[in-house]
Amino acid sequence: MTEEPVTAKRLIVMLGAYFALLFAAIIGIGLLNPEVLPLMPLGGNDVLDIVGIESDKQTLLDRLDPAPTAAAVPTTAGQIGLLSLFLGFSLGGTILVMLPVTWTYAAIKREVGYPKSFVRSLLVLPICAATTVLLIQNNLALAFGLAAMVAAVRFRVALQEAIDGIFIFASICVGLAAGIGHLGIAAVMALVFCLTNAVLWKIEYGRNPVDDLKRAKKHAKLEVLSQSPDANSRFHETN
């Protein structure tokens, strides 16, 4: 049984229905349980201020200062529960916002093909970005430490097309928005981003004969490969 390809029209309908349900769910939660809204990453509130936990903004030089500091207020179990709920809304919300983005990428890249791992990376990348922002908060030392670690690791990804980099950037934007508590803005951005890509795909904006020729050669090569049992088995062994 082969999977039915998603057309541009069907993709636009899917995106409209999904975002309508998503926004309706948020409004419904706000009407039924208004006390839950402050815990959702929609208004840009600091997570520690929401749950009433005093953040430790001391740097290394401050800790070396012999001047007495105020006694730390112990964190209660209720505050930890609220913090966990906020983190659940933030990280879970990134997945809900990124799902239609991955659908859009898979649909518009179906003809030319795409790595399965890349689509998965788009879905999980904002989780890492959101967690990083939540950890850094307003701590300048942590920000410099993160930059040093990223420079040491040196992620290298070979992108097939420029649009792949745009989708990666959109994924990072969603994660950053979730980390600073503005996931609502990220949801609106994802709606406009996905619909714009779907419309451009439908009207074949920027189409040129060179791309059509490359696509035809690739399809012809895949067709020959699929008709050859030996080549097909070697292809699956190498992948």
Residue 146 counted as domain residue: yes
Q: Is residue 61 part of a domain?
A: no
Number of domains within the chain: 2
**Is 174 a domain residue?**
yes
- Model confidence at 106, pLDDT cuts 50, 70, 90, reads very high
> What percentage of the chain has pLDDT greater than the value 70?
63
> Which pLDDT value is given to residue 33?
81
Q: Please indicate, yes or no, if residue 164 is contained in any of the structural domains.
A: yes
Q: Is residue 65 included in any domain, yes or no?
A: no
Residue 137 near residue 181, CB atoms below 8 Å: no
Instruction: Check whether 190 has a pLDDT greater than 60.
Output: yes
- pTM for the model: 0.74
- The pLDDT assigned to 193 comes to 96
Whether residue 106 is found in the same domain as residue 220? no
- The token pair that represents 62 in the structure block: 């401050």
Considering the domain architecture, whether residues 102 and 85 belong to the same structural domain is answered as yes
Q: Residue 49 belongs to what domain range?
A: 8-53+77-205
Give yes or no: residues 187 and 110 share one domain: yes
Instruction: Give yes or no: residues 135 and 231 share one domain.
Output: no
More confident residue, 168 or 68: 168
CA pair distance 106, 92, nearest whole angstrom: 21
Residues 222 and 160 in one domain: no
Cα angle 232-233-238, degrees, rounded to a multiple of 5:
100
Residue-wise pLDDT tens digits, 137-178: 766 766 776 676 666 555 666 777 888 889 999 998 998 888
10 Å Cβ neighbour count for 118?
Answer: 18
Same domain, 216 and 196: no
In a domain, 97, yes or no: yes
Q: Among 155, 157, 134, 166, which Cα is nearest to 53's?
A: 134
